[in-house]
Structure 1
């Protein structure tokens, strides 16, 4: 453990470079009392308040990398990732308790779970303030990181990685781009008190990043993928889906070209309704098509654990321990935030265009995807990575799919393609197709998920 003073409850941390920004923190003992924790809020001026929960690594925290985990939605709390996927504890007993998670990603990493943008999870805003675009959300996350690392400089020296899932495929590149640009400006200005953030990689899991490419892959997954949802790949349903792709791509290209709400909202409405809409009527879990979904029993998102998370996070004693007002109500996903981003057409922007500059500066890219997810399928994710314009493009296009075998069980967990590193590292651009997993890989394949992240953070090949 680090030799630092304990934070008293509701410690206030300010920063000269961020006037009006404060960090309010406490030290909970929930979930996993064996590791040091910090939780609380970043207050941005008077109106925005972002909730975070930090866990030190179970192993060598003074040397372990720092990971920021973000769930997507947009509008879904990162407590979903914490309690349902990869945190130190897992939700249990209909939300009455949690159990130890031996495959937590804090096994070998210090992990921050952040509820962003405002009005997500325990994060909140005053006076009707909202955030409905990923670039603005990125600036808020950068402010949080600067205050957090300013208060805990021992973490600032560690390798830093952004890991984001689902709509995090849009958030992640925007946040990484802000950090990269601010680091560059900092090297020129030497602003007092600001720390360079040691950004080493961007990790995107079953994300939405390049909708032009990914939306076109929807019929390929539904009709020709490993878990086809229609009996006949040449039948009328598949033919109807494929017929919608040209119009969808034309609308998305207009969004890419003009980057305005007037072009991006129509693209989002058409593509979602015409390509994903029919698939939502099949009674399947769109996040894992191997499973059926009964919304009366499983909830709107097809996982009853989401309701359990709401139950546990709303226990007054848990709120007090986390530094949250007991009167504040927690919801795993806020559909008003979701709609706010939709009405800006944010989800139809090309976030992949932000990545080449990062990659060329030495920031590594890992994209992984469970092969049973229909919402952000693995076929489309691999295609946009393959199309990425970087100095590693030709090498990646030629790269073979190599088997990935987990270290613990020796089981083949998926296939990996990689460019950069000459086979001696995890690669500069790497794509992993995770077998027998849906949208939330660490939930479906906990051992494989931990094996993947451990190797990536240590920068050792996944294919050996």
Structure 2
């Protein structure tokens, strides 16, 4: 029912947004200025809810000569304005591929990834002004960062999605509007990279994009086919049933800080079997089962997250066990920077900034979305021959590498037996070991040493090498 009603409506809107002859006689692209003097490019259609408003070459963050950038808003429905920031590739942007980066949460801004992880600029030693990031992913690709769902980051309007399945069509519609206005970037090789709750977003969004491609190719809908070539998920929340158990095992045997000792590990494995497993057995679908899935999420988090942390009596940060719970690393310097009035004016932002929006988070929680496994969606993407990477910094606890490996090994795809049986081998960058990996056909797994939850922040050189290899549709390989 979801696909036949809601998605059909979105396809109709996308058909209008796509600018087919005769469909938009009353639409126009024009330039205007804000009261503060910032020049805004705007595309508006009087007959639809589609609008684009953005600033060209603000000079913020990316200061490499000749590299274009755009930042602003694209509507995905009435009173639904989604914030984006786009940076051309520093090298050969006319031919470079394109990648979309999404942070997780649910409800967290992709400005986290932009400023703290893989964007064109970063803050060094907690300085108040950013410097160019030499390992930015736009060294290789045209990079698009989007705040979604509505409410995350600088996005604003009506809260439009309370689950991953509900969020997917809006991101697809956003891309349709983006490619309509920036046609020079359409039809490129396209990669989706995401982290954390991106273990939900990545598989489902990629699957939805592929479904829409088939609809368009069959003539059942109108829009821009997205040339998916790669999906990357670092420290993702993919398969909760397996990953909740890894809270206990990783806490016991990680190489950095023992969180559960030999006397307490069995207690939490028993609690997992007694409480979490039966609760998760009632949450098996991507839609519906709200009460059962919410209950499963509550039970498993109570046993394996809250009770475990209390019982351990160990001070650790859930995103990087090497430091204490109150440590602020990566530093939050960027939030003060992008909420400055002068910076907001230059980039075209016009609302409060929510690094992680509590309303969005609560809505997803109430729907039970957190407890759902998106392994089926991920399998579908792999079977479409998309280069797929599951990777994780091995100092992260909350979406740790062991749980990610279990999720990857359990995927029921054509190469499952070979993949599950294959052992990990050293992964090197310029001859230096930075982790362990394995790859079979188009599926790869990588454990990255000495990296927390926001993997590219800790190991930027490794992250850039991995990103390039996946976007080139190559097997993950050492250098």
Task: Return the offset for 1:103.
Answer: 0.9
**Does the CA contact (< 8 Å) of 1:241 and 1:274 recur in 2?**
yes
Secondary structure of the residue aligned to 2:349 is coil
Task: Return the offset for 1:154.
Answer: 2.1
Equivalenced residue count is 436
Deviates more, 1:54-63 or 1:112-121: 54-63
Q: 1:416 aligns with which of 425, 430, 437?
A: 437
**Does the CA contact (< 8 Å) of 2:60 and 2:343 recur in 1?**
yes
Structure 1: give runs of 5+ residues left out of the alignment: 421-427
The answer to whether 1:162 aligns with 2:208 is no
The answer to whether 1:218 aligns with 2:256 is no
| C-alpha distance 451-32 of structure 1, shift in aligned 2 (>3 A) | same
Q: For 1:304-383, what aligned pairs fall within 5 Å after superposition?
A: 305-306=331-332, 308-325=333-350, 328-383=351-406
Q: Which residue of 2 is the match for residue 385 of structure 1?
A: 408
Task: Return the offset for 1:348.
Answer: 0.7
Runs of 4+ in 1 over 4 A off after TM superposition: 5-8, 92-95
Q: Which residue of 2 is the match for residue 303 of structure 1?
A: 329
Q: For 1:50-449, what aligned pairs fall within 5 Å after superposition?
A: 50-92=82-124, 94=126, 96-126=128-158, 129-189=159-219, 191-192=221-222, 194-230=223-259, 232=261, 234-235=262-263, 237-246=264-273, 247-256=275-284, 259-281=288-310, 282-294=314-326, 298=327, 302-303=328-329, 305-306=331-332, 308-325=333-350, 328-407=351-430, 410-420=431-441, 428-449=442-463
Secondary structure of the residue aligned to 2:107 is coil
Deviates more, 1:453-462 or 1:332-341: 453-462
**Does the CA contact (< 8 Å) of 1:14 and 1:147 recur in 2?**
no
Task: Return the offset for 1:208.
Answer: 0.2
**Does the CA contact (< 8 Å) of 1:7 and 1:25 recur in 2?**
no
CA distance in 2, matches of 1:179, 1:459: 18
**TM-score (structure 1 length as normaliser):** 0.89
Q: Deviations over 1:42-98 (max 9, x none)?
A: 112322111000011111112211110011111111001111111110135757311
Q: Which residue of 1 is the match for residue 72 of structure 2?
A: 40
Task: Return the offset for 1:419.
Answer: 0.6
**Does the CA contact (< 8 Å) of 1:75 and 1:117 recur in 2?**
yes
CA distance in 1, matches of 2:164, 2:173: 14
| C-alpha distance 95-74 of structure 1, shift in aligned 2 (>3 A) | farther
| C-alpha distance 461-202 of structure 1, shift in aligned 2 (>3 A) | closer
Q: Deviations over 1:373-420 (max 9, x none)?
A: 10001011011111111111122123231211103xx31011111111
**Does the CA contact (< 8 Å) of 2:268 and 2:308 recur in 1?**
no
Task: Return the offset for 1:202.
Answer: 1.2
Task: Return the offset for 1:245.
Answer: 1.1
CA distance in 2, matches of 1:84, 1:179: 27
Task: Return the offset for 1:463.
Answer: 3.0
RMSD of aligned residue pairs (Cα, Å): 2.1
CA distance in 2, matches of 1:37, 1:379: 38
Q: Deviations over 1:235-294 (max 9, x none)?
A: 1x2122112211212211211158411101111111112101134443211101011122
| C-alpha distance 15-64 of structure 1, shift in aligned 2 (>3 A) | farther
**Does the CA contact (< 8 Å) of 1:103 and 1:446 recur in 2?**
yes
